[in-house]
Amino acid sequence: MRAVHPAARRLAAVLAVVLVVAGVVATAVGLVRWLEPLTDLEGGVSVPVQVTASDGVGADLQLLVEMEPYDDVRVGGIPTGGLPHTDHRTYPLGVVTVYAPDASTSEKLLSRADAMLRGIALLVAALALRPVLRAVAADRPLRRHDGRRVQVAALCVVVGGYVAPLLPWLASASVLTRLDDPHGLSATPVHHLEVFVVAALVVLVGAVMSAGTQEPREVSRA
């Protein structure tokens, strides 16, 4: 069995602590952000939407339906791109934040659920990897169940990196439905498929580490 380099052992020891601390902090911050919309005295919610049509100005976007503005609905953010239907590379034109009143509890919770889910995913991954990192830090051979711990971490990568960003868009779809689906705005989320590549690499690295530091088998005596 090849000994782990001292620098790698020190790094593993530091990561075993830092990742758990980061996971706890991220979960706490995510919890605060998740519950924050419930404290809105006006009962409104802010959700992301994609701009599919614009006059190209974008600085002060006004939400109109049949040329009439929505009451109490505000739009923030500057959509990127040029005039609509002039260059296919500018579609969609960008993402803005729509603040809408009379939000339901589910819309409020979903609008910030991504922060909460990311924090939980990071904390679970950190706790799963902690024994693995401590084994590397102590230059101990990995065990069979350590491979499952790495798989849990890979699953957390998918949950935090792919599933979590989709949740606010569920609130966006609900808000746009309540607003009669205004022209020029869409609740189509972005699918971060590259996350699956990262998760596969995590599993691959775990398999390589396990193969290189597995426990020696006992030789049975005749």
Residue 102 inside a domain? The answer is yes
Please say if the pLDDT value at position 35 is more than 60.
yes
Element (H, E) at 177: helix 167-178
What is the chain's mean pLDDT, rounded?
78
Contact 104, 173 (CB under 8 A): no
- pLDDT band at 218; cut points 50, 70, 90: very low
Which residue has tokens 């830090």? 137
Contact 155, 120 (CB under 8 A): no
Residue 177 inside a domain? The answer is yes
Residue 97 inside a domain? The answer is yes
E-strand ranges in 21-132 read 45-51, 64-65, 68-69, 74-76, 94-100
In the numeric block, which tokens belong to residue 53? 């049509």
Residue 192 inside a domain? The answer is yes
Contact 101, 48 (CB under 8 A): no
Please say if the pLDDT value at position 164 is more than 50.
yes
Residue 221 inside a domain? The answer is no
* 128 alpha-carbon distance from chain centroid: 19
- Number of domains observed in the structure of the chain: 1
Longest dimension (CA), the chain: 90
User: Dihedral through CA 206, CA 208, CA 212, CA 218, nearest 10?
Assistant: 70
Contact 195, 158 (CB under 8 A): yes
92 preceded by cis ω (within 30°)? yes
End-to-end, the C-alpha distance of the chain in Å comes to 25
- pTM of the predicted model as reported, rounded to 2 decimal places: 0.76
Residue 219 inside a domain? The answer is no
Distance CA 222, CA 189 (A): 64
| Averaged pLDDT, 188-210 | 83
Which residues form the domain of 37? 6-212
Q: Specify the 3-state DSSP secondary structure of 106.
A: helix
Residue 217 inside a domain? The answer is no
Please say if the pLDDT value at position 42 is more than 90.
no
**pLDDT for the residue 69:** 54
Q: Tell me: the pLDDT tens digits for 48-103?
A: 887 776 554 443 445 555 555 555 566 655 444 433 333 344 455 667 788 888 88
**pLDDT for the residue 99:** 83
Residue 111 inside a domain? The answer is yes
E-strand ranges in 80-161 read 94-100
